[in-house]
Amino acid sequence: MNQHPCNTPAELAQRLAAWTGLRLHQAIAGRGHAVLAVSGGRSPVPLFHALRAQPLDWSRVSITLVDERCVPPDHPDSNTALVREHLLQQGAAAATFVPWFDDLPATLDDAALQALADAASQRLATQPWPWDLAILGMGEDGHTASLFPHAGGLSQALHASGPVAWTRPLNAPHARLTLTLPALLATRELVLPLIGPAKLRVYQQARLSEDDTLPISLVLHQHTTPVQVWLA
């Protein structure tokens, strides 16, 4: 695990965008293509704005998600909508975007969520594994991706062999689809940007021990996949 301290959130966005652009360029040079998975929410928006301006051959980049809320793709809470609005612009408009679903079933019971997760897994199988980068987020409850503490479906999402599982967070809206922990750890490199003292405290707590009630700790304590932590 490597830490990259920054003085301000703006500095973090610019430096991480340049670093990510370099990693993607190296992947394209070495393998002809790069695959990037990104998180939703409001925190990544400044990073997306800086990243979309990076001088890359974006036509050789595929972009997908770390997780998705089970809402229509034009819903304000949709990560797909967020990525389309804030990342797939300027040069990055040439990238191939792989959303996890186009439509939702009328009801979202457990069986429907499992079918949705299975279909998303099939979509993601079209992208060459291992993916190059997954940019994670972290909530003040210690969740990452949609691996929420005590969520319905969490155990399956931590241990399933397939890339996508569903969860039902106890204290956040919407059922979710998420990359499973094994899928996250199958990427070449993980990136964790953290902004503000509250998230820094959670990060420091998670570094003390591995604990399912702080799912980010499961990422920080593994020794399979490099983790780059960016702090501001």
Query: Is 174 a residue whose pLDDT tops 90?
Result: yes
Query: Is 204 a residue whose pLDDT tops 90?
Result: yes
Say what the pLDDT of residue 73 is: 94
Q: What is the pTM of this model?
A: 0.97
Residue 78: count other Cβ atoms within 10 Å of its Cβ.
21
The answer to whether the CB of 113 falls within 8 A of the CB of 151 is: no
What is the average pLDDT across 120-134? Answer: 96
Confidence band of 14 (pLDDT split at 50, 70, 90): very high
Query: Is 111 a residue whose pLDDT tops 90?
Result: yes
What percent of the chain lies above the pLDDT cut of 90? 97
What is the average pLDDT across 175-179? Answer: 98
Residue 140: count other Cβ atoms within 10 Å of its Cβ.
10
The answer to whether the CB of 216 falls within 8 A of the CB of 138 is: yes
Residue range 59-75, pLDDT digits in tens: 999 999 999 999 999 99
Say what the pLDDT of residue 161 is: 86
The DSSP call for residue 54 is S
Query: Is 95 a residue whose pLDDT tops 90?
Result: yes
What is the average pLDDT across 174-182? Answer: 98
Query: Which residues are CB-neighbours of 42 under 8 A, at least 6 positions away?
Result: none
Instruction: Round the average pLDDT of the chain to a whole number and report it.
Output: 97
Residue range 185-194, pLDDT digits in tens: 999 999 999 9
Residue 229: what residue type?
A: V
Say what the pLDDT of residue 88 is: 99
Task: Give the SS3 label for residue 225.
Answer: coil
Confidence band of 170 (pLDDT split at 50, 70, 90): very high
Ramachandran quadrant class, 168 (left: phi over 0; alpha: psi -120 to 50; beta: rest) = beta
Cα 101 to Cα 119: distance, rounded to the nearest angstrom = 8
Query: Is 90 a residue whose pLDDT tops 90?
Result: yes
Query: Is 26 a residue whose pLDDT tops 90?
Result: yes
Domain parsing of the chain, residue ranges: 2-138+147-231
CATH architecture of 2-138+147-231: 3-Layer(aba) Sandwich (3.40)
